[in-house]
Amino acid sequence: MFRALLFDVDGTLAETERDGHRPAFNAAFAEAGLAWRWDPALYGELLAVAGGKERIAAFARRADPDFLAAPDAEARIRALHAGKTRHYLAALAGGAIGLRPGVAELLSAARAASTRLAIATTTTPDNVTALLAATLGPEAVGWFEVIGAGDVVAAKKPAPDIYRFVLAGLGTDAADCLAIEDSAVGLQAALAAGVPTVVTRSFYTAGEDFRGALAVLPDLAAVGLEGLARLWRSAHG
């Protein structure tokens, strides 16, 4: 049986992207007087780049090269991203986003079985705390022994760094853990760190290439803790 469950956040714990992060980016752009607007289809393309600041820079590179050429471009991206985070946190606090099916049940079964819990995400740490508090209560953040999030590592997913950070914090071998991811980028990060991974497809990732996953499921309601344990054992001969 695996010792720890490592959860991705966006798309895995909750469908945060289309109606959470995306409108928060747009609100920050409008506030800064920029004409940029990310509609749901464009945002789906932009998700190929993980991390909000990195996503803004990737968009500017193709849509507004003058913005990037300015000497203060990096500072402006940081300010835009801070505004985006403020809008996103307000939306979460207002109850805009709920957990995906089966997430709360799995967390409670894992806690009952003393399975260790951790988070490995690209998103900003405050976003994780706010999502957990809004959906599971303020004590839920304490259920996770390690929360690896955002800029704590230099290279974001698909680099394995955030998984390595979490594994080091837990002091466990990668093979003794199970990661739950929703995207090809996240799957690549977990596999590159040696963590067996189950994928739950999400709104934007349903058509991606999930080769290497132990299983690809519609959501976590389709499998309980026991089902995950069976999948994990199947990879351990």
Amino acid at 182: D
Write the binding mask 164 to 203 for Mg ion: x where contact by CB under 5 A, - elsewhere.
Answer: ------------------xx--x-----------------
Q: Given the rule CB under 6 A, which of 32-40, 107-115, 121-129, 220-228 is the region that contacts ligand XBP?
A: 121-129
CA distance 117 to 136: 15
Q: Out of Mg ion, ligand XBP, none, which partner does residue 164 contact, by CB within 5 to 8 A per kind?
A: none
Within 52-91, which residues bind ligand XBP (CB under 6 A)?
A: 52, 84
Nearer to Mg ion, 53 or 67 (CB): 53
Strand partners, 10: 14
Q: What angle do CA 78, 82, 87 make, to 5 degrees?
A: 145
CB of 223 to Mg ion, least distance (A): 18
Q: Looking at the annotation, which residues are catalytic? A: 8, 10
Asked whether 52 and 84 are in contact (CB, 8 A), the reply is yes
Assess 17 for contact with Mg ion (CB under 5 A).
no
> In a 3-state reduction of DSSP, which class is residue 111?
helix
Q: Given the rule CB under 6 A, which of 32-40, 72-80, 120-128, 204-212 is the region that contacts ligand XBP?
A: 120-128
Name the DSSP letter for residue 116: E
By CB under 5 A, name the one of 4, 5, 6, 11 that touches Mg ion: 11
Assess 51 for contact with ligand XBP (CB under 6 A).
yes
By CB under 5 A, name the one of 8, 15, 17, 161 that touches Mg ion: 8
CB of 113 to ligand XBP, least distance (A): 24
Nearer to ligand XBP, 84 or 164 (CB): 84
Q: Out of ligand XBP, Mg ion, none, which partner does residue 26 contact, by CB within 5 to 8 A per kind?
A: none
Assess 180 for contact with ligand XBP (CB under 6 A).
no
Nearer to Mg ion, 83 or 186 (CB): 186
Q: What angle do CA 104, 109, 110 make, to 5 degrees?
A: 100
Range 110-127 burial, b when 16+ CB lie within 10 A, else e: beeeebbbbbbbbbbbeb
Q: How far apart are the first and last CA of the chain?
A: 12
What is the full DSSP assignment across 117-185? EEEEESS-HHHHHHHHHHHH-GGGGGG-SEEEEGGGSSSPTTSTHHHHHHHHHHT--GGGEEEEESSHH
Assess 123 for contact with ligand XBP (CB under 6 A).
yes
Catalog residues that contact ligand XBP under the rule CB under 6 A.
Answer: 8-11, 17, 21, 50-52, 84, 121-124, 127, 157, 183, 186
